[in-house]
Amino acid sequence: MARFAYTATDERERAVSGAVEAPSRAEAARMLRTRGLHPVRLESPVTVRKRRTAGSRETVRGGYSRRDLLPFLKAILDLTSSGLSAGEAVRLLSVRLKEPALRALCTELWSRLQEGQTLSAAMTSLPEVFDPRVCNLVRASEATGSLLEVLRRLVQYYEEMRDLRQKLRAALAYPATVCVVAFGVILFFVLFLLPRLQSLLASLGGELPLATRMLVGGARFSVRYGLILLPLILLAGAALMRWKRTERGRERFDAILVRLPVLREWVVESSLLGFSQTMSVLIENGINTVEAMRLTLGTVGNLAIQRALTEALARVVEGEGLSAALGRTAYFPDLVLDRLAVGESTGHLAPCLRDIAQHYSRRRAERLERFTGMLSSAILLFAFAFVGFIAYAIVSAVLKVSASFHF
């Protein structure tokens, strides 16, 4: 017997929570229904452990996390492409997969499907793996019978995101290595070479060059206050991240992002890319414009842009055209709005949105390539300049002191 924690609603639609003992999740759901309760969430005790993902530490249930999203989508796409239903594909994956975390994810989904939940509802109950974009698209595809097409688009989208991350890591690998080496050189100079150099220069006497005095002063400051400043910087960063996770903090942070000159274009274009991609898929699969916008809002990551799109949705509900409503947000360029207006008037809104998404996808790839090139060049230039400054300060001091000693 296992003990299942549940959240349910009674006959008066009041929320009820508690625990029930049953041999399986399906039996636990049946027992609750016999009591007149409608299960909303039903979970067995799970082992919570820590796993490092993408350089950060996060809490996961059952060993799975967001990194398992793409492998799951590819696996279920392969099976549904062969003619299996989504439920049967999940059941088969839960017993055939060898990777423990992915098999645990499919087992969890299959247990919820056995309770009568839809695939989208089961995905929604696992937010640590499935983001709102995936859940909304799967929910729409279930209503229109186009799950296979939606899965193909999702796999294509997340593979593009994976490739972008890999390109970014590859572009920054060499500059990062140079930075590590330069930082090691600086530590060696400050901790070992500089004290001996100071003793030598003090014994020889004479005034040191400006560059050497700046270097010595900076090294002394780092040694004296570095152990104090570093924890303070880390604490300030942790406090900022914690504030950003709050609702008010995230709203303020997102509002600042869309005002910064350099980051604004990247943030806005990324949000519009996701908006146009999701809208095109939903409209192509039979969802009307209003419902497609409502489902798409949850996939927009920036809250400031999401709020503007929510106001645009209200105008569309009142009867205003999509292009006119989006034009009031001040986030869509005039050329994009003109293309949307043409798509609305000709009845080809979905292809128009798909073309806009492809345009933004190309622009983001080009912008990312330029950014990584500029960043790597700047890092290399800074590292070489700093090491060169150290060498110049040392050599100039030795030459000046030795010249004064000679005379």
Q: Per-residue pLDDT for 73 more than 90? A: yes
Burial 387-399 (b: 16+ CB within 10 A, else e): beebeebbeebee
Please, what is the average pLDDT of the chain? 80
Tell me which residue has tokens 């146009």. Answer: 276
Q: Lay out the sheet containing 15-22: strands in order across.
A: 15-22, 2-9, 38-43
Quote the CA–CA distance of 278 and 154 in Å, as a whole number.
10
pLDDT for 178 equals 75
* pLDDT tens-digit series, residues 332-342: 888 888 988 99
pTM greater than 0.85: no
- Picking from 7-16, 76-85, 264-273, 370-379, which range would have the lowest pLDDT averaged per residue? 7-16
Q: Per-residue pLDDT for 59 more than 60? A: no
Q: How confident is the model at residue 407 (pLDDT cuts 50, 70, 90)?
A: very low
Q: Per-residue pLDDT for 256 more than 50? A: yes
Count of Cβ atoms closer than 10 Å to residue 157 Cβ: 22
pLDDT > 90 fraction of the chain, expressed in percent and rounded:
7
- Mean pLDDT in residue range 60-82: 84
Count of Cβ atoms closer than 10 Å to residue 309 Cβ: 23
pLDDT for 54 equals 36
